[in-house]
Amino acid sequence: MIKPYGSEKLAPLFVHDAKERDALAAEANGLVSITVSSATAANAVMLGGGYFNPLTGYMTLADAQSVAENMRTSDGLFWPTPVLNMTDDVSAIKNERTIALRDPNVDGAPVLAVQEVTAVEEVGEDQLLGITEMVYGATDKNHPGVAAFLSQGRYLVSGPVRTLNFSYFSSDFPDTFRTAVQIRNEIKELGWQKVVGFQTRNPMHRAHEELCRMAQEAAGADGILIHMLLGKLKPGDIPAPVRDASIRKMAQIYFPPNSVLITGYGFDMLYAGPREAVLHAVFRQNAGCTHFIIGRDHAGVGDYYGPFDAQTIFDTSVPDDALQIEIFRADHTAWSKKLNKVVMMRDAPDHDKDDFVLLSGTKVRDMLKRGESLPVEFARPEVAKILMDYYQSLP
C-alpha cells in the first residue's frame, strides 16, 4: 500500500487507548479551556484522524507565513495550507502550558482535544491579509473561505494536540465518517493495491459517476474511494445527509459490488482552489489512495480561480518528490448527444456547446423545486428523486 505523506507509518493524534483517553478527558475538565472556531475544531478532527499526517498540532505564525509564502513549514516540510488554532480572546490562556479545546458544533461545547501551548501570538492586520492573499488568492470577504478565515480571530495558539473524539461527525454520520486509519484498514481488507480517490462536496450526477470510471480504467485501479466532505459549507450548498443518501443510492445501483468505498471526512470546506486541491491530495495519500482525481475548478468558488489552476499547481508548485499519489487530470465532463455517452469535453473536439447536455446549478435547483424531472443523461432518476424531495421540502 502507498505510504502516508511524510512518514513511514500513519501517526494519527487521536488517543486510541481507552484508559489513557478517559484519564486525559478527566484531566481536561480541570484545565483552562477555550471554545474554538468551527475551522479549528475541524483541524483537530483531521489531526486526530491521520489526514494531516505528519503534523503534530497547530502551526506557529512563522509556520503559517512560511506555508502561505512557500508551501513549506519553517522546518522545511512541504504543506499547502496553514493548520491553525485561531481565536479572538486569549486572556484566559496566556500563561497556561496545557489547555482544553471545546467543540463549538456540539451542544454543551464538550472538550474535543487537549493542546500543549508552545506559543500565543498576535497576528497583525498586514500579516493576516498577506496569509489570506497567498492561500486563497483573494482578500475579498465575498469569498466564503476568506470570510470564514478572517472571522476566526487575531491570535494564533500553537502547539501539539491530542484529540479525544471526532466531534459530531462520528455520531451524525456513523455509516460514512471514517478516519484515514479506518480507510487504510478497509482498503487492506479488500485487497486493493491501486485506489482512485474522488473528492466531492456535492451530489454525484452522471458526469461524476462516469469520471470515476474513466479514472479507474486509466489507472488500472482495483477500486474507487468516494470521499465526501461532511463539514461546513457555504449557504445554498446541499447538506451532507442529502448528499450521502444520493451518492449511496447511485453506488448501490450503478457500480459493481465491492468496487466503491463511500466514506466521508470531518473538515470544513476552505474553497481555496489550487491550494486546497493539493491539501486534498495529501488527505487521499494518507487515506491510502494511489491516484486522485482533480477536476475542473476543483475546490473553487465563483470566478476566483482559473478552470485548471488546481491542476497546474501540481506542475508549478509541488516538488516532484513531495507526494507519491498520482493526479488524474479531468476536464469538464458531460453527456454527448452525438456519441450517446458521457465524455470529457477535451476528448470531443468536434463538438460545440449544444452537443452536450449541460445544466447550470441554478437550472437544476429550479427544476427540482418545481418537481420537474432532470434529464436521464444528466442525473440518475433515483438520485434526482432524493434531490427533488429535499428541494421540495424547503420553505
For CA atoms 365, 368, 374, 380, the dihedral sign is: positive
* Residue 202 is among the residues annotated as catalytic for this protein: yes
Reduce the DSSP state of residue 327 to 3 states and report it.
strand
Distance, CA of 248 to CA of 225 (rounded, Å) = 12
In 3D, which of 182, 260, 186 has the Cα closest to residue 223? 260
- The DSSP string of 131-160 is HHHHHHS---TTSHHHHHHHTS-SEEEEEE
CA angle 380, 383, 387 (to 5 degrees): 135
Distance, CA of 205 to CA of 250 (rounded, Å) = 9
- The DSSP string of 251-279 is HHHHS-TTSEEEEEE-------THHHHHH
Max Cα distance, the chain (Å): 69
Active-site annotation holder among 72, 154, 201, 248: 201
Active-site annotation holder among 70, 202, 248, 365: 202
Beta strands 111-116; 155-163: pairing state: antiparallel
Q: Is 243 exposed, middle or buried (0-12, 13-18, 19+ CB in 10 A)?
A: buried
* Residue 243 is among the residues annotated as catalytic for this protein: no
C-alpha cell at 178: 471514517
In 3D, which of 227, 151, 228 has the Cα closest to residue 195? 227
> Which sequence positions are flagged as catalytic?
201-202
